[in-house]
């Protein structure tokens, strides 16, 4: 098992992951600018990967006779007799993303002039130039089993489905948001069966496309956030990120609650969708409404997320704190006595040694 990294020092490093710790096995001085993307082929036995750089070059690497050899893909290359504009020849081209088709027979590169180029993975010959995007493309996603199909998406809000064998568009979707213009597409993934794909955009939306009926998705609230999504973070003396309220690393906190954009909790049956809350008791799946006395002493109905406890915290925050305490107590009770004693005696440098600062 191998891993490859690209660096700002223009270097590519290959690591072997089969030992107890990653071991660097190769260091390749391959590009003249930052290496911004690397990706191994789908067939792990072939030991091939492609690298893309801000120098306008992509390279297909293969391991042969105990050394790494490469095929150069120059982004200034044009198809013979092509009428597709290559952009301003004076502007330096940059590789923004790379991908392999499902059978590893072609490599696809996205270029800073908004074009996609399809290359032979063996000879490096340019096969097709795909045009349509109006801004940079950072998403290239190939179909899980059909080597002809690829999806691209970019900051122009366009999502294209392509036929790589013919070099033509199949479908186009434009992410127009009413009253806000278009939303840049940040990521896309196909489902395992290839019948659906999902995308995320710059406005925090999840877009789901596919065949069949959408009724199942219509039952889901339009607004779904985790209660902790916008909670303030701090950093301890070691520069590790902590949740400001619980002083815990975010990944160690109890499962969050699902809320709407105003912080109002969704009903309990939605809370069970959160990993870790599937089997929670009903009283741990917060009710949507509660009652609180107003300044005149009258009981009024109010969203629980907007109520506050005596210490000024929202009741939702209070509940998170209680769950954190219960989780800590449960972990301590499961710890063997000798380990617990050792943990108490161990001195661990942490945030009290320095005043925490908010992360940017």
DSSP string, 130-156: E---SS-EEEEEE-SS-TTEEEEEETT
CA atoms within 13 A on the CB side of 176: 5
Judge whether residue 302 has pLDDT over 70: no
Which H or E run includes 225? strand 225-226
pTM above 0.85, yes or no: no
Same domain, 291 and 190: no
Residue 149 belongs to some domain of the structure: yes
Q: Are residues 325 and 275 part of one domain?
A: yes
Q: Which of 76-80, 84-88, 196-200 has the lowest mean pLDDT?
A: 84-88
Range of the domain at 341: 225-358
Is 177 in a helix, a strand, or coil?
Answer: strand
What tokens appear for 49 in the block? 């990967």
With DSSP H G I counted as helix, E B as strand and the rest as coil, what are the percentages for the chain, rounded to 5?
15, 40, 45
Are residues 350 and 237 in contact, defined by beta-carbon separation less than 8 angstroms? yes
CA distance 53 to 63: 20
Indicate if 243 and 348 belong to the same structural domain.
yes
Band (315; pLDDT cuts 50, 70, 90): low
Count: domains in the chain = 2
Radius of gyration of the CA atoms of the chain, in A: 26
Q: Are residues 280 and 297 in the same domain?
A: yes
Does residue 82 lie in a domain region?
Answer: no
Alpha carbon distance 258, 172 (integer Å): 32
Does one domain contain both 139 and 257? no
Q: Does 197 lie in the same domain as 161? A: yes
Look at residues 196, 218, 240 and tell me which one is the last residue of a structural domain.
Answer: 218
What are the distances in angstroms from CA 248 to CA 151, 236, 263, 286, 351? 39, 10, 21, 22, 11
Given pLDDT bands bounded at 50, 70 and 90, which one contains residue 335? low
Burial of 233 (0-12, 13-18, 19+ CB in 10 A): middle
Specify if 269 maps to a domain.
yes
Instruction: Answer yes or no: do 177 and 139 share one domain.
Output: yes
- Look at residue 110 and give its three-state secondary structure: strand
**3-state SS, one letter per residue, for 239-308:** CCEEECCCCCCHHHCCCCCEECCCCCECCHHHHCCCCCCCCCCHHHCCCCEEEEECCCCCEEEEEHHHCE
Report for 25-29, 169-173, 175-179, 291-295: range of highest mean pLDDT: 169-173
Per the domain annotation, does 124 fall within a domain?
yes
Does position 333 have pLDDT exceeding 60, yes or no?
yes
For 270-273, the CB contacts below 8 A with 24+ separation are 270/221, 270/224
- Last residue in a domain, options 218, 245, 268: 218
- Does one domain contain both 164 and 258? no
The answer as to whether 83 is a domain residue is no
Q: How far apart are CA 248 and CA 234, in angstroms?
A: 10
In a domain, 139, yes or no: yes
pLDDT grade, residue 343 (50/70/90)? Answer: very low
pLDDT tens figures, 114-166: 999 999 999 999 999 999 999 999 999 999 999 999 999 999 999 999 999 99
Q: Are residues 52 and 181 in the same domain?
A: yes
Task: Please state, in angstroms and rounded to a whole number, the distance separating the CA atoms of residues 345 and 338.
Answer: 11
Indicate whether 49 belongs to any domain: yes
Give dist(CA 134, CA 230) in Å, integer.
Answer: 32
Please indicate, yes or no, whether residues 202 and 117 belong to a single structural domain of this protein: yes
**Are residues 179 and 310 located together in one domain of the fold?**
no
**Per-residue pLDDT tens over the stretch 192-249:** 999 999 999 999 899 999 988 888 888 888 899 988 888 889 999 999 999 888 888 9
Residues 123 and 195 in one domain: yes
| 34 vs 11: CA distance, rounded Å | 8
Tell me what the mean pLDDT of segment 75-93 comes to: 78
Choose one of 188, 218, 248: the last residue of a domain. 218
Structure tokens at 217: 């998705």
Establish if 325 belongs to a structural domain: yes
Sign for the pseudo-dihedral over CA of 73, 74, 80, 81: positive
CATH of the domain at 117: 2.130.10.10
DSSP state of 314: B
For residue 277, name the pLDDT band (cuts at 50, 70, 90).
confident
């Amino acid at each position: 098992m191998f891993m490859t990294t690209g660096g700002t020092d223009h270097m590519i490093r290959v690591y072997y992951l089969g030992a107890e710790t990653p071991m660097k096995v190769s260091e390749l001085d391959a590009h003249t600018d930052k290496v911004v993307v690397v990706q191994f082929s789908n067939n792990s036995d072939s030991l091939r990967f492609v690298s893309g750089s801000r120098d306008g070059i992509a390279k297909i690497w293969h391991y042969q006779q105990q050394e790494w050899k490469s095929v150069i893909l120059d982004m200034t290359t044009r198809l013979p007799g092509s009428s597709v504009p290559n952009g301003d020849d004076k502007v330096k081209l940059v590789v923004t993303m790379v991908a392999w088709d499902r059978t590893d027979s072609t490599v696809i590169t996205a270029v800073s002039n908004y074009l996609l180029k399809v290359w032979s993975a063996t000879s490096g010959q340019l096969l097709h130039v795909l045009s349509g995007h109006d801004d940079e493309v950072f998403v290239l996603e190939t179909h899980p089993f059909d080597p002809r199909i690829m999806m691209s998406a970019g900051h122009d809000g366009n999502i294209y489905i392509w036929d790589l064998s013919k070099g033509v568009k199949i479908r186009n979707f434009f992410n127009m948001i009413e009253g806000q213009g278009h939303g840049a597409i940040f990521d896309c993934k196909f489902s395992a069966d290839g019948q659906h794909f999902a995308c995320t955009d710059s406005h925090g939306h999840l877009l789901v496309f596919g065949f069949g009926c959408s009724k199942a998705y219509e039952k889901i609230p339009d607004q779904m956030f985790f209660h902790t999504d916008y909670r303030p973070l701090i950093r301890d003396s070691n520069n590790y990120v902590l949740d400001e309220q619980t002083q815990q690393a975010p990944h160690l906190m109890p499962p969050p609650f699902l809320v709407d954009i105003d912080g109002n909790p969704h009903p309990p049956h939605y809370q069970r969708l959160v990993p870790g809350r599937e089997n929670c008791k009903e009283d741990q799946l917060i009710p949507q409404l509660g009652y609180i006395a107003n300044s005149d002493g009258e009981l009024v109905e109010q969203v629980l997320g907007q109520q506050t406890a005596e210490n000024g915290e929202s009741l939702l925050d209070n509940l998170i704190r209680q769950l954190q305490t219960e989780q800590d107590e449960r972990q301590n009770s499961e710890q063997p006595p000798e380990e617990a004693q050792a943990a108490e005696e161990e001195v661990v440098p942490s945030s009290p040694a320095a005043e925490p600062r908010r992360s940017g």
